[in-house]
């Protein structure tokens, strides 16, 4: 699969996401526009309704003023108080109507004219009040025509102003109707455009989604084919490994027989003919015996390494405190000879194969004792902590692991050889300097890998070494006791 094909699904996914987000934005925009149109239309309707109300109140003001003027005239000529009731009622109504008119007038020009109307109306009411007062007080009769003349002039001014306000309100109402119609038309067009764009976006996104699903189905079919091919390769590799391990086991086992004969005849030569051999012959015989013993040890280690892969033991809870205690007891003579001290902090219970845990910690402790610094008391510290698999790329995140450290104060090594030391038959020192076959750490790595863990080391020459073993708390999903020993143990044999 080429570069473009590998990144095509992600590219299409981004397009689909953008398409659906755009569609959602368009739908939201359409909803907002519809809501805005509704509110605008409602406000325009309220303003048009307000225009009708303004015109009605103007008519009412004019009508009430005229009724009040008629009542005043009737009172002046008849002096009948019945006219005063009509006068008083209309006087109050005029003021109320003008106040209400001022409250519902939105146009600035009309608002100014409404204030003028209030002034003229108050002047008209004042003239009417003077007329009625003059009649009650029986003032000079000649004053009445003057009041009536002034009142008529005020009434004409009011009529003219009301007419102007009505015309102005008619213009304003027409403007509001036109604005409402245009706003509604624009909103309908916008909603149509947005709906069309949403429809197109959804169609494009659907086509992209359909294409992506088809691509994924194709990739899934390819993965299934690759999976079947991989399973076949794994089966073949497993069969090949089993054959190699079986060969190594059989070969190692069969090599023991001729080697035992070599050792036996070497011992016989040493017992019967050692006195007849010269110094060079004795040196040859000694080298033969040492090489045979070393070969025997290598074969035994190779057998142990092969058995690790062939083991069928089940995982079960293993208390690592018990494993360390047993190893220390078995190594008592060696610890006594070196005067070593081993400090062990509480260790956990893990799901493991007990025999493989024996191999693992026996080799690690044995290495720490073997590579001790001459003239210095060997000190080995073993501790454990809980860690999360997410802290290590080789492990599973969210799973509980135990980090077990084996720290010594020995000769150490250069970390550039870190990968080298875990390989079979690889040694950093000559066989004459330190005994061993170079297979111990390879066994450790194989055990840890079998337990789905991780092993590494930290060291510097002359500053000791710290081997880090990380083992999962559980190999399966069922629960086991997580108890540990409560007290730190210190092993020292003097």
C-alpha 145: how far from chain center: 93
Q: How far apart are CA 87 and CA 73, in angstroms?
A: 10
Number of alpha helices (DSSP H) and beta strands (DSSP E) in the chain: 10, 8
Cβ(372)–Cβ(328) below 8 Å: no
Share of the chain above pLDDT 90, in %: 7
How many C-beta neighbours within 10 Å does residue 472 have?
Answer: 21
DSSP string, 16-31: HHHHHHHHHHHHHHHH
Query: Which tokens go with 366?
Result: 């044995």
Domains of the chain: 3-212 (1.20.120.1730), 316-492 (3.30.565.10)
Q: What is the pLDDT of residues 389-405, one digit of tens each?
A: 888 888 888 888 999 99
Average the pLDDT over 17-44 and give the result: 72
Q: How do 341-344 and 379-388 pair as beta strands? A: parallel
- Choose among 48, 33, 35: nearest CA to 180: 48
Q: How far apart are CA 46 and CA 8, in angstroms?
A: 56
DSSP string, 190-216: HHHHHHHHHHHHHHHHHHHHHHHHHHH
- Choose among 123, 69, 128, 76: nearest CA to 98: 123
Q: What is the pLDDT of residues 246-274, one digit of tens each?
A: 766 666 667 677 777 777 777 777 777 76
Cβ(363)–Cβ(424) below 8 Å: no
Average the pLDDT over 275-294 and give the result: 76
Q: How confident is the model at residue 306 (pLDDT cuts 50, 70, 90)?
A: low
Q: How confident is the model at residue 411 (pLDDT cuts 50, 70, 90)?
A: confident
Helix 143-273 with 3-78: angle, nearest 10 deg:
160
Residue with tokens 């080789």: 394
Four-point Cα dihedral 346, 407, 301, 313, nearest 10: 30
pLDDT, mean over the chain:
76
Exposure string of 67-106, with b = 16+ CB inside 10 Å and e = fewer, is bbbebbbbbbeeeeeebbebbeebbebbbebbeebeebbe
3-state DSSP assignment of residue 132: helix
pLDDT of 344 > 60? The answer is yes
pLDDT of 445 > 80? The answer is yes
Q: How far apart are CA 411 and CA 63, in angstroms?
A: 119
Cβ(58)–Cβ(101) below 8 Å: yes
Q: How do 400-408 and 379-388 pair as beta strands? A: antiparallel
Cβ(440)–Cβ(305) below 8 Å: no
Exposure string of 344-364, with b = 16+ CB inside 10 Å and e = fewer, is bbebbbbbbbeebbbbbbbbb
Q: How far apart are CA 147 and CA 129, in angstroms?
A: 10
- Choose among 340, 314, 315, 317: nearest CA to 327: 340
pLDDT of 383 > 90? The answer is yes
Side-chain-side CA neighbours of residue 5 (13 Å): 6
- Choose among 371, 363, 334, 328: nearest CA to 464: 371
- Choose among 378, 380, 357: nearest CA to 450: 357
C-alpha 22: how far from chain center: 23
How many C-beta neighbours within 10 Å does residue 150 have?
Answer: 16
Exposure string of 245-274, with b = 16+ CB inside 10 Å and e = fewer, is beebbeebeebeeebeeebeebeebeeeee
Q: What is the pLDDT of residues 165-223, one digit of tens each?
A: 777 777 777 777 777 777 777 777 877 777 787 777 778 777 777 787 888 888 888 88
Among 30-39, 275-284, 401-410, the minimum mean pLDDT is found in 30-39
Q: How confident is the model at residue 141 (pLDDT cuts 50, 70, 90)?
A: low
Residue 40 CB partners (closer than 8 Å, separation 6+): 180, 183, 187
Q: How confident is the model at residue 79 (pLDDT cuts 50, 70, 90)?
A: confident
Average the pLDDT over 410-421 and give the result: 80
């Amino acid at each position: 699969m080429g570069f473009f094909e590998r990144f095509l699904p992600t590219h299409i996914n981004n397009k689909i996401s953008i398409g659906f987000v755009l569609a959602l934005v368009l739908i939201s925009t359409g909803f907002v526009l519809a809501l805005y149109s509704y509110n605008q239309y409602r406000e325009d309707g309220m303003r048009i309704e307000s225009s009708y109300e303004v015109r009605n109140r103007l008519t009412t003001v004019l009508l009430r003023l005229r009724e009040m003027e008629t009542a005043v005239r009737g009172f002046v000529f008849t002096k009948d108080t019945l006219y005063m009731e009509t006068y008083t009622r209309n006087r109050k109504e005029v003021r109320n109507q003008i106040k209400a008119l001022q409250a519902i007038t939105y146009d600035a020009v009309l608002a100014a004219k409404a204030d003028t109307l209030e002034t003229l109306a108050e002047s008209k009411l004042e003239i009417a009040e003077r007329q009625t007062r003059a009649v009650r007080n029986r003032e000079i009769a000649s004053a009445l025509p003057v009041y009536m003349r002034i009142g008529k002039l005020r009434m004409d001014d009011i009529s003219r102003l009301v007419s102007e306000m009505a015309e102005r309100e008619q213009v304003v109402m027409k403007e509001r109707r036109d604005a409402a119609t245009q706003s509604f038309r624009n909103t309908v067009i916008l909603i149509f455009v947005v709906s069309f764009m949403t429809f197109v976006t959804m169609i494009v996104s659907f086509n992209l989604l359909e294409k992506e699903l088809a691509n994924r189905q194709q990739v899934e079919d390819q993965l299934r084919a690759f999976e079947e091919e991989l399973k076949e390769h794994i089966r073949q590799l497993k069969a090949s490994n089993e054959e190699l391990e079986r060969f190594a086991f059989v070969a190692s086992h069969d090599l023991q027989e001729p080697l035992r004969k070599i050792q036996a005849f070497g011992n016989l030569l040493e017992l019967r003919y050692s006195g007849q051999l010269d110094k060079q012959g004795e040196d040859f015989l000694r080298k033969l015996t040492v090489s045979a013993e070393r070969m025997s040890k290598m074969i035994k280690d190779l057998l142990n390494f092969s058995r690790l892969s062939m083991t069928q033991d089940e995982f079960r809870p293993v208390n690592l405190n018990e494993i360390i205690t047993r190893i220390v007891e078995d190594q008592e003579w060696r610890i006594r000879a070196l005067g070593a001290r081993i400090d062990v902090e509480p260790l956990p219970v893990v799901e493991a194969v007990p025999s493989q845990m024996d191999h693992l910690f026996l080799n690690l402790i044995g290495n720490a004792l073997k590579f001790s610094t001459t003239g210095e008391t060997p000190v080995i510290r073993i501790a454990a902590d809980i860690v999360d698999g997410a802290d290590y790329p080789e492990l599973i995140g969210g799973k509980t692991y135990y980090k077990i450290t084996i720290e010594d104060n020995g000769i150490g090594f250069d970390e550039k050889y870190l990968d080298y030391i875990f390989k079979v038959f690889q040694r950093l020192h000559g066989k004459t300097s330190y005994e061993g076959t170079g297979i111990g750490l390879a066994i450790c790595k194989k055990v840890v890998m079998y337990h789905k863990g991780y092993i590494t080391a930290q060291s510097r020459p002359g500053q000791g070494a710290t081997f880090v073993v990380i083992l999962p708390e559980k190999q399966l999903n069922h629960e086991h006791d997580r108890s540990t020993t409560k007290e730190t143990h210190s092993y020292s044999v003097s």
